[in-house]
Amino acid sequence: MDNKKIVVVGGVAGGASSAARARRLDEFAEITMFEKGPNVSFSNCSLPYHLSGVIPDADSIVLMTPEQFKNQYNIDAEVNSEVTDVDTDKKEVEVKNTQTGELKKVPYDELILSPGANPIMPNCIKGIDKDNVFSVRNVVDIKKIQTYLEVNKVTDVAIIGGGFIGLEVCENLAQTDKNVSLIEASGHVMGTIDDDFAELVHKELYDHGVNVVLNDGLAEITDDHIKLGSGREIKSQVVIMAIGVKPDTALATKIGCKLGLTGGIAVDHQYRTSIPNVYAVGDAIEVSHMITRKKTRLALAFPAQMQARDAVDHIYGRTVENRGVIGSQVIHVFDINVASTGLTENECQKDGIDYRTAVVIPKSRVGIMPDATPLYFKLIFGYPSGEVLGAQALGKSDVDKQIDIVSTMISMHGHISDLTHLEVCYSPWFSTAKNAVNMAALVAENVLNGEFEQIQVKDVRKLVEKGAFIVDAREPAEYEEGHIKSAVNIPLSQFRQRLDEIPTDRPVYVHCLTGQRSYNMVRALNNRGYNNIINIDGSYLALCEYEYFKDQTTDRKPIVTNYRFDLL
Amino acid sequence: MDNKKIVVVGGVAGGASSAARARRLDEFAEITMFEKGPNVSFSNCSLPYHLSGVIPDADSIVLMTPEQFKNQYNIDAEVNSEVTDVDTDKKEVEVKNTQTGELKKVPYDELILSPGANPIMPNCIKGIDKDNVFSVRNVVDIKKIQTYLEVNKVTDVAIIGGGFIGLEVCENLAQTDKNVSLIEASGHVMGTIDDDFAELVHKELYDHGVNVVLNDGLAEITDDHIKLGSGREIKSQVVIMAIGVKPDTALATKIGCKLGLTGGIAVDHQYRTSIPNVYAVGDAIEVSHMITRKKTRLALAFPAQMQARDAVDHIYGRTVENRGVIGSQVIHVFDINVASTGLTENECQKDGIDYRTAVVIPKSRVGIMPDATPLYFKLIFGYPSGEVLGAQALGKSDVDKQIDIVSTMISMHGHISDLTHLEVCYSPWFSTAKNAVNMAALVAENVLNGEFEQIQVKDVRKLVEKGAFIVDAREPAEYEEGHIKSAVNIPLSQFRQRLDEIPTDRPVYVHCLTGQRSYNMVRALNNRGYNNIINIDGSYLALCEYEYFKDQTTDRKPIVTNYRFDLL
């Protein structure tokens, strides 16, 4: 039998992984990988870190050269080579040398498409094709931006889009003393978290001097400013577009591959397209969500690598199990880390999934250890099933630790009862004895069992406005340092002597600093027969974080006398 | 009905958690907690950190005072109060004031024992009762040590026992410029990891100036030195005993509670002892292992807290689910972190459980990011079932992240196939695109499927001694910097042209730096029909770490020309 001919289109995550896996399974296959750009196997996720100099040498972002592919894996990695067409009957690709224009035909037995996704660049925006408009997709892009910034001594940059790439570019540029504006068309940055946690990201950006503009879109680009939909003008000599990516389906469409509902290339559970012997993997394909079972797209490195592996395994007759994606992610933004997995509240609402949440804010490690910082953690679970649906975490510590636990639990279709007693690592150096995940699960179990009522911090402003009775269960000295304007201070340590101050004819909302003391008071009052006591989930700390950014950037009146962002 | 009377014996993790949980469930219960020491609710895990000044104020280790228990939770926390006897018919405890000797009787409806465990102090050791011999159980102990060290201007300390407390005390004292000796009777420190990973801990201790003595026990203590079983004498004006703890079952035994096979108090799945209305929780009880189903003991804070909660929940008619323990742990030792969960290889061997391992050493984050350090990770899985049984991780990064993923998977009875595609958080700032856990699971799957053979680094010395054929698959420049003395350098990038150098009449052992390149070569050679090719799991990096300490501290001959501890 002849050696198998494998052709791979695209030389980054999915492509390079496909080729390398094929070689491991078949030493004699003829493997050719075509990349239209000048580099294969670069770390696209690392690109923004060149802008700040965290990665000083842009060329180091290229992890393997074509020579290394040849020497180590006997793989032909051809750069500047665009696959322009495929004869799927003859099983032959047409490849154009992008530098010479030369065309050649290359036969295949199996074809793997890993074309990736392109930054969205809406034509309707005036000036979108100007020289000072960039996107971040590859090493060439990032070099171009860096050169342009230096040559033109740029001082002001506008980043359009508050997703992962937008935020990372924002952080890295802000650290080079540029004036950075971040323009986000929706109400908050990061679609992967909800508005409550996003407000903490807004605060972090604002505190680091980023001009954060929400609910406003890009309308026009000139040499020295951008104009937004609202008419507002913002100084910027460079615009970086990061409003999202769309799957690069040009070749797939041309050769007749079916697309899915979401616009990605449709594949079966073995990553086969609708055309025989043509596979597709990576950012260009449509995948299934493990929880909702719906079709979705997910432009992340790890799923791309695993899809590549699975596609090649299938070519070689191996069983492929496709469990779908959950979308675990983490980002570093200035001094904080933000991670999430599974469904957000917003996604649950859109999909008609009934859910509840539990927010806890323990310290990142035992409080008497130095550098113990608040760890904001939200668990989202199905109601009434108690299934773990998602989680969000934010803080200065490695919050991906908590999210990875939840990701694992979601993958195993776990319930909150599986998280309450989950035995993870503890030492004062690393965490609290009850991990944030345990704490949230215990709260969640109480919520599920209807043991107490709670509301979220985003509802507190309305309560204050309508004059609700709010109890601040902290100690008087803490109250003095800053409190909700209309709150009454009845500390947990005094309430049993001051029960007559707690009304029985209307709802009583209780908070403390993080929710722990208020929770104890709520339970005690419930036990005492008070039946309209509601805990404010996340309490003062989460409230301050939630309110801060809008209080600073709009002319509304703060509902607290002073903000507090630290723990005891 | 009268208010329920709950008496708790012991005021630390299990005791304080019991009392607080009881209050949350029952606002009107009369809750009394007796602690024989002067403090309740202290962070015993944090004690060693006072010795270095990381926690400057020893009193801050006490998290709550009796006054706070009274004010906040209406709980009577009585310190210096030892429960000396229980009349289980009358349901009454006898309490002795340890300062006045006064006795009183206190009735209970439900009694919860949380007496903890005592440091083992073998009477057979001459001098064990001297004033310069200490153990670390509470705040009083740690203050005593600190005072003694200062008053006597101690320069040399011997720590007996290389478990968690011993290592933490060792690290914290070494950071105050004391000369520290660590004496461990077995072949390696930390029973929670295997000898291969323990060698990396030995290296860390050795590199930080600790005098590590293995396979030798304490025989005699004098004012200025200790004498070991071997006859060796070691200078030390202070001895800290940390060879382990034994459950404090004195009261339980006296009142007739049955003990279990391991010497801990026997409890049912609801933490009831053999005596009606008497519960027991924490370090003093015997628990069941989730994997082996065997009885065991586990002196850890989180399980104690949850047992306390569950016992009280049961008192109040709630369902308690007892899934057993897995023993997840983490420790910080100088510049490295060491974490583990589930079974070790050693435990598998003892229990007759067939298993295999997969060792990977990826970087802690994408290699082009600053401070990417080696992450040593070992996955232990059942053979042939593929069940996840345990894991060990070590490195400068937060390795508890990887172990928590595995802990979660073990709790959900996961298989390695559940880990291969597990989608956890990735960004170059935090990890590699394929997490160490994914990588190890992929290797494990290959091992399970018999796709290639491997041996562990601990077997390499024997190979060298018997003149086995070892291929070093790294590049020549790397080989020059240090290599296994008898290894032949055939780089992955050259082997296809040098096949004639690879023998077919005997086993060929292949390694590279971390195992990635050697794995590729092994597969390629297998594909080419070579059928006796064996990968060295962990490769040169793991080998150097494994060999280093013994090479430095014994007169045996190193098998490498130079050690290497970094990544590319």
pLDDT in tens, chain B (568 residues): 689 999 999 999 999 999 999 999 999 999 999 999 999 999 999 999 999 999 999 999 999 999 999 999 999 999 999 999 999 999 999 999 999 999 999 999 999 999 999 999 999 999 999 999 999 999 999 999 999 999 999 999 999 999 999 999 999 999 998 999 999 999 999 999 999 999 999 999 999 999 999 999 999 999 999 999 999 999 999 999 999 999 999 999 999 999 999 999 999 999 999 999 999 999 999 999 999 999 999 999 999 999 999 999 999 999 889 999 999 999 999 999 999 999 999 999 999 999 999 999 999 999 999 999 999 999 999 999 999 999 999 999 999 999 999 999 999 999 999 999 999 999 999 999 999 999 999 999 999 999 999 999 999 999 999 999 999 999 999 999 999 999 999 999 999 999 999 999 999 999 999 999 999 999 999 999 999 999 999 999 999 999 999 999 999 999 999 999 987 5
* Cα diameter, chain A: 90
Residue A37: pLDDT band by 50, 70, 90 thresholds? very high
Q: Which of residues 42-81 of A touch B (CB under 8 A)?
A: 43, 45-46, 49, 54-55, 60-61, 63, 68, 71-74
What mean pLDDT do residues A38-47 have? 94
Residue ranges of chain B assigned to CATH 3.50.50.60: 5-118+246-315, 133-243, 335-451
Q: Is-contact B489 B483, C-beta < 8 A?
A: yes
Q: Is there a catalytic annotation at residue A512?
A: yes
Q: Are strands B103-107 and B92-97 parallel, antiparallel or unpaired?
A: antiparallel
The answer to whether B28 contacts chain A (CB < 8 Å) is yes
Q: Which residue of A has its CA nearest to B63?
A: A368
The answer to whether B124 contacts chain A (CB < 8 Å) is no
Residues of B in contact with A435 (CB under 8 A): 302, 404
Q: Which residue of A has its CA nearest to B411?
A: A422
What mean pLDDT do residues A187-212 have? 97
Residue A1: pLDDT band by 50, 70, 90 thresholds? low
Q: Which residue of B has its CA nearest to A524?
A: B27
Q: Which of residues 492-531 of B touch A (CB under 8 A)?
A: 492-494, 496, 517, 520, 523-524, 527-528
A–B interface: beta-carbon pairs under 8 A: 248
Q: Which of A170, A257, A348, A512 is an active site residue?
A: A512
* Contact across the interface for A368 and B327, Cβ inside 8 Å: no
Long-range contacts of A106-110 (CB under 8 A, 24+ apart): A106/A7, A106/A32, A106/A34, A107/A5, A108/A5, A108/A6, A108/A7, A108/A277, A109/A4, A109/A5, A109/A6, A109/A277, A110/A4, A110/A5, A110/A6, A110/A7, A110/A277, A110/A279, A110/A315
- The residue among B525, B479, B467 whose CA lies nearest residue B499 is B525
pLDDT confidence of residue B90: 98
Q: Which residue of A has its CA nearest to B392?
A: A425
* Contact across the interface for B368 and A418, Cβ inside 8 Å: no
HEC per residue, A224-236: CEEEECCCCEEEC
Q: How far is A329 from chain B (nearest CA, A)?
A: 5
What mean pLDDT do residues A342-364 have? 97
Taking phi over 0 as left and psi of -120 to 50 as alpha, with beta for the rest, B74 belongs to left
Which class would CATH give B133-243?
alpha beta
Which tens digit of pLDDT belongs to each residue from B197-255?
999 999 999 999 999 999 999 999 999 999 999 999 999 999 999 999 999 999 999 99
A560 beta partners = A484
Distance, in Å, from the CA atom of B66 to the CA atom of B83, rounded to the nearest integer, reads 17
The arrangement of secondary structure in B5-118+246-315, i.e. its CATH architecture, is 3-Layer(bba) Sandwich (3.50)
Check if the interface score ipTM surpasses 0.95.
yes
The arrangement of secondary structure in A335-451, i.e. its CATH architecture, is 3-Layer(bba) Sandwich (3.50)
Distance, in Å, from the CA atom of B281 to the CA atom of A106, rounded to the nearest integer, reads 71
> What is the pLDDT of chain B when averaged over all its residues?
96
The answer to whether A305 contacts chain B (CB < 8 Å) is yes
Q: How far is A129 from chain B (nearest CA, A)?
A: 30
* Contact across the interface for A49 and B492, Cβ inside 8 Å: no
Q: How far is B434 from chain A (nearest CA, A)?
A: 6
The arrangement of secondary structure in A5-116+246-315, i.e. its CATH architecture, is 3-Layer(bba) Sandwich (3.50)
Please tell me the pTM assigned to this model: 0.97
* Contact across the interface for A423 and B326, Cβ inside 8 Å: yes
Q: Which residue of B has its CA nearest to A73?
A: B493
* Contact across the interface for B339 and A72, Cβ inside 8 Å: no
pLDDT confidence of residue B47: 96
Residue A567: pLDDT band by 50, 70, 90 thresholds? confident
What mean pLDDT do residues A170-198 have? 97
A568 has a pLDDT exceeding 60: no
Residue ranges of chain A assigned to CATH 3.50.50.60: 5-116+246-315, 133-243, 335-451
What mean pLDDT do residues A156-177 have? 97
Residue ranges of chain B assigned to CATH 3.40.250.10: 454-553
Which tens digit of pLDDT belongs to each residue from A404-443?
999 999 999 999 999 999 999 999 999 999 999 999 999 9
- The residue among B524, B513, B417, B419 whose CA lies nearest residue B474 is B513
Q: Which of residues 354-393 of B touch A (CB under 8 A)?
A: 366-370
Taking phi over 0 as left and psi of -120 to 50 as alpha, with beta for the rest, B80 belongs to left
Taking phi over 0 as left and psi of -120 to 50 as alpha, with beta for the rest, A534 belongs to beta
Q: Which of B170, B257, B512, B544 is an active site residue?
A: B512
pLDDT confidence of residue A433: 94
pLDDT confidence of residue A566: 85
For a pLDDT cut of 90, what percent of chain A falls above it?
98
Looking at CATH, the fold of the domain delimited by A454-553 is given as Oxidized Rhodanese; domain 1 (3.40.250)
